[in-house]
Amino acid sequence: MPATTGMKGGGYYDANSREQRSASDSFLPWLEAAIADLPAPTESQSSWNVLDIGSSEGANAIYTMNRVVAVLRQHTDLPVWALFDDLPTNDFNQLFLNLFPDQTPALTAPDVYTAAIGGSAFGRLVPPRSLHVATTFNAIGFFENKPQARLPHFILAMQPNPRASREGVSVTPEELQPFQQQAHQDLCEFYSARAAELVPGGKLLVQVFGRNENHSTGHGICDVLSDALLDFVEADLLPQTFYEDFLFPAYYRSTQELAAPIEQIPELASAFRMEHLADINAPVPFNNEFARSGDRKAWAKSYTGFLRAFTEPVLAAALPAELVAEQIVDKIYQRIEQLLADNPERYEFHFISIAALLTRL
Domains, the chain: 12-360 (3.40.50.150)
In angstroms, rounded to a whole number, what is the distance separating the alpha carbons of residues 332 and 329?
5
Q: What is the structure's pLDDT at 217?
A: 97
Which amino acid, 154? F
User: Residue 2's pLDDT is what?
Assistant: 66
pLDDT of 205: 98
At 352 the pLDDT is: 97
* Neighbouring-strand partners of residue 209: 353
Q: What is the pTM of this model?
A: 0.96
Residue 87 CB coordination number (10 Å)? 19
Upper half-sphere CA count for residue 197 (Cβ side, 13 Å): 25
Kindly report, residue by residue over 175-185, the tens digit of the pLDDT.
Answer: 999 999 999 99
3-class secondary structure, 304: helix
pLDDT in tens, 40-94: 888 888 999 999 999 999 999 999 999 999 999 998 899 999 999 999 999 999 9
pLDDT at 146: 83
Q: Quick one: which of 104, 113, 20 has its CA closest to 59?
A: 20
Position 44 scores a pLDDT of 81
Neighbours of 79 (CB within 10 A): 15
Residue 22's Cβ-count burial label (10 Å; 0-12, 13-18, 19+) is: middle
What averages of pLDDT result for each successive group of 10 residues across the chain (361 residues)? 73 88 93 94 89 95 96 94 96 95 92 97 97 97 90 96 95 97 97 98 98 96 97 96 96 98 98 98 96 98 96 94 93 98 97 98 98
